[in-house]
Amino acid sequence: MAKKHTPQLIVALDVDTLEEAQALVGRLKEDVGIYKVGSQLFTACGPAVVRYLLKAGKKVFLDLKFHDIPNTVAQAVSAAVRLEEGGRGIFMCTLHVSGGGEMLRQAVMAATKTAQNIGVMKPLLVGITVLTSEGKRDNILQLVLEKARLAKESGLNGVVASCQEAAAIRDKFGDDFVIVTPGIRPEGSQAEDQKRAATPQEAVASGSDFLVVGRPIIKADNPSDVTKRILSIINQT
Ligand code: C5P
């Protein structure tokens, strides 16, 4: 059964410059407390955007989807944990479960040790299962559940998965296992490259903890209006 609770909104800052990111954060004001920094923005402006968000009092979800040999991923995760501002570090970061158990375990150890050493909270480490841009396949649920099991057994805090798999993950892995759901499309918006998309209502009902929304908000004529509409749906459902 899906968990009964109110998920939190994360806005994906998929823009090219620090100035665009700052303008969006300025427009969304207090409505949004968590921002996702992915490979597009981080490649363009690096740690500066993370420090800007932390200084602005926002939580940072660093979505760099690490996937490499165990040592390299462990070092990358340590570097991510060291991105702090005034004793506050990043809140969550991603790595590909398909990197394997050894890679995941070394990443967890590295995050724990670095966080202790520098005195910040260890970020939530969440595993990428199957990207939401992948279409429906017969065995997708089974594949996602297998990846979620490996993530949990390796010490990750949760997974990124589509709304279609969230309820099954919640049932199998319990209330403390974090589920992050991208591919959210309010009624009437374009699916774009997302194949396993869901409305905010469906995502809330699925028991996900965090709903990630990018283009429907950041490409909107009025990002603040769209955000308020999504928040009201989340809070009513
Ligand atoms: O624009 P849109 O709402 O589709 O953005 C979704 C965001 O979530 C993108 O930044 C994308 O990288 C990210 N994401 C995803 N699917 C995953 C993991 C992350 O779409 N499985």
C-beta atoms surrounding 125 within 10 Å: 26
Domain assignment present for 1:
no
What's the token pair of residue 67? 């996937």
Q: Which atom of ligand 1 is nearest to the CA of 197?
A: 4
- Report the pLDDT value the prediction gives residue 188, as an integer from 0 to 100: 78
Ligand 1 binding pocket (C-beta < 6 A) is 12, 14, 38, 63, 128, 131-132, 160, 182-183, 194, 212-216
Residue 65 a catalytic site member: yes
Domain assignment present for 3:
no
Domain assignment present for 220:
yes
Domain assignment present for 84:
yes
* Predicted TM-score of the model (pTM): 0.94
- CA separation for the pair 181, 48 (Å, rounded): 26
- Report the pLDDT value the prediction gives residue 136, as an integer from 0 to 100: 65
Q: What angle do CA 227, 228, 230 make, to 5 degrees?
A: 65
Asked whether 132 and 197 are in contact (CB, 8 A), the reply is yes
Rg, Å, the chain Cα set? 17
Q: Provide the CA 53 distance to its chain's centre, in angstroms.
A: 16
Structural domains counted in the chain: 1
Q: Provide the CA 112 distance to its chain's centre, in angstroms.
A: 19
Look at ligand 1, atom 2, and give the residue with the nearest C-alpha. 214
Domain assignment present for 26:
yes
Q: End-to-end CA distance of the chain: give it in Å, rounded.
A: 16
Identify the CATH number of the domain in which residue 64 sits: 3.20.20.70
Give the structural domain span for 107: 8-236
> Rounded to the nearest whole angstrom, what is the distance from the C-alpha of residue 120 to the centroid of ligand 1?
27
- Report the pLDDT value the prediction gives residue 45, as an integer from 0 to 100: 95
Domain assignment present for 2:
no
The residues, ordered by sequence, that sit 6+ positions from 210 with a Cβ below 8 Å of its Cβ are: 7, 8, 9, 10, 34, 61, 178, 179, 180, 181
- Please list the pLDDT of the chain residue by residue as tens digits (237 residues): 444 578 999 999 999 999 999 999 999 999 999 999 999 999 999 999 999 999 999 999 999 999 999 999 999 999 999 999 999 999 999 999 999 999 999 999 999 999 999 999 999 999 999 887 777 667 899 999 999 999 999 999 999 999 999 999 999 999 999 999 999 998 878 778 877 788 999 999 999 999 999 999 999 999 999 999 999 999 986
- Report the pLDDT value the prediction gives residue 1, as an integer from 0 to 100: 45
- Report the pLDDT value the prediction gives residue 144, as an integer from 0 to 100: 95
